[in-house]
Amino acid sequence: MVLRVLVKGAGVAGLTVAYELASRGAKVVVIERRPTLAGSASWFAGGMLAPYCERENAEEAVVQLGRGAATWWDKAIPGLVTFAGTLVVAPRRDAGEISRFATRTCNFSRIGRAEIAALEPDLADRFDAGLFFAEEAHLDPRQALAGLRDRLVAMEVGFCFDRTEPPPGYRADATVDCSGVAAADDLPDLRGVRGEMLYLQTSELSLSRPVRLIHPRIPVYIVPRGDGRFMVGATMIESDSDAPVTVRSLMELLNAAYALHPAFGEARVVEVSSGVRPAYPDNLPRVTRQADTIFVNGLYRHGFLLAPALARQAADAVLGDVFMKEEVNETDRQWRDA
């Protein structure tokens, strides 16, 4: 029997769940309330696949669930992931912050001026000390979402944009709700954590990997997107508002970018946006069930990092559950036929 699964939401959770289910033979339809992939929290992400750096503020579970993510993405969309590590630096006056960061993370090497210059020639002489997380990776979230949608279309997954309900007459054997912060009515523990970000463009600077500038007040990261574009992120504000970016946040993000390199002073500001991360009280994601719906939610600041592991768990739950129901039905049938 071919299993029919409805997936609600075409953010990173919904698309990875659809991919896991379709790869295992399910017939999947994805519904998305927006007209395109743009505008979800996933659309505004940095795309850092950084389990070890994230350990600074996250539980060990994030490292365990996230360490296979780069390989998963590379297999799903070959050529998408850049395996170049993460560089962490601090302004000279905050050099002590490097040691604090080091005590809370793992899998890095301590590096000095020469190594920083070798990794990122444009940052030569700007920082005396840093940490290099060689096993980390990054991707462009917008390319990842579009690439996954294209793979799914090729796998005969159906897409219905601009909809919150399945097409008339459609009947699913199972539903997986991946609607992010919009699921808060069904998941009362869920909250929004607002993240503001911007894109800068300059041909005066080149970076090969995400660079995190640690700072006691405004930690910031810059992720190169190629063609002179850089994503600068991100604020962490306890709010589910996706209103336009505030002046304070914009100033702080721009100041941090300028502190990393003054070439950003001449850069063009090509986008200023905000997204709302869905989070549970412990900031860890969950696969849960209510009646016939499985929810994949709470990916917080780790959507691209944790979605592959959560999607596998969700697919196991859907398939395991349906096979169980099938077995029950089969037992019923045997009784009836006896």
Ligand X SMILES: Cc1cc2nc3c(=O)[nH]c(=O)nc-3n(C[C@H](O)[C@H](O)[C@H](O)COP(=O)(O)OP(=O)(O)OC[C@H]3O[C@@H](n4cnc5c(N)ncnc54)[C@H](O)[C@@H]3O)c2cc1C
List of residues contacting ligand X (CB under 6 A):
8-14, 31-34, 40-42, 44-48, 164, 178-180, 182, 195, 197, 233-234, 275, 277-278, 297, 299-305
Q: How far is the CB of 29 from ligand X (least distance, A)?
A: 11
Check: CB of residue 124 under 8 Å from CB of residue 116: yes
CB of 264 to ligand X, least distance (A): 18
Element (DSSP H or E) covering residue 64: helix 60-66
Which CB atom, from 46 or from 130, has the smaller least distance to ligand X?
46
Q: Which of 194/261 has CB closer to ligand X? A: 194
Kindly list the distances between the CA atom of residue 30 and the CA atoms of 118, 164, 243, in Å, as whole numbers in the listed order: 45, 10, 27
Q: How far is the CB of 38 from ligand X (least distance, A)?
A: 9
| Separation CA 257–CA 266 (nearest Å) | 11
Q: How many Å apart are CA 105 and CA 85, to the nearest integer?
A: 14
In the complex with ligand X, the residue whose CB is nearer, 147 or 278, is 278
Beta carbons within 8 Å of 45's beta carbon, 6+ residues apart: 12, 141, 275, 303, 304
Residue number closest to ligand X, CB atom? 11
Q: How far is CA 313 from the centre of its chain?
A: 17
Residue closer to ligand X (CB basis): 148 or 178: 178
Residue closer to ligand X (CB basis): 306 or 331: 306
Amino acid at 151: R
To ligand X, the closest distance from the beta carbon of 250 in angstroms equals 13
Task: Tell me the DSSP string of 65-106.
Answer: HHTTHHHHHHHHSTT--B---EEEE--GGGTHHHHHHHHT--
Asked whether the beta carbons of 12 and 304 are under 8 A apart, the reply is yes
Q: How far is the CB of 160 from ligand X (least distance, A)?
A: 9
**Shortest distance (Å) from residue 300 CB to ligand X:** 6
Minimal distance, residue 327 CB to ligand X, in Å? 31
Q: Which is nearer to ligand X, 261 or 302 (CB)?
A: 302
The values of phi and psi at residue 336, to 5°, are -60, -40
Least distance to ligand X from the beta carbon of 302, Å? 5
| Burial 310-334, CB ≥16 within 10 A → b, else e | bbbbbbebbbeebeeeeeeeeeeee
Q: Is 41 or 213 the residue whose CB approaches ligand X more closely?
A: 41
**H or E element at residue 154:** helix 141-154
**CB closer to ligand X, 3 vs 49:** 49
Contact 220, 233 (CB under 8 A): yes
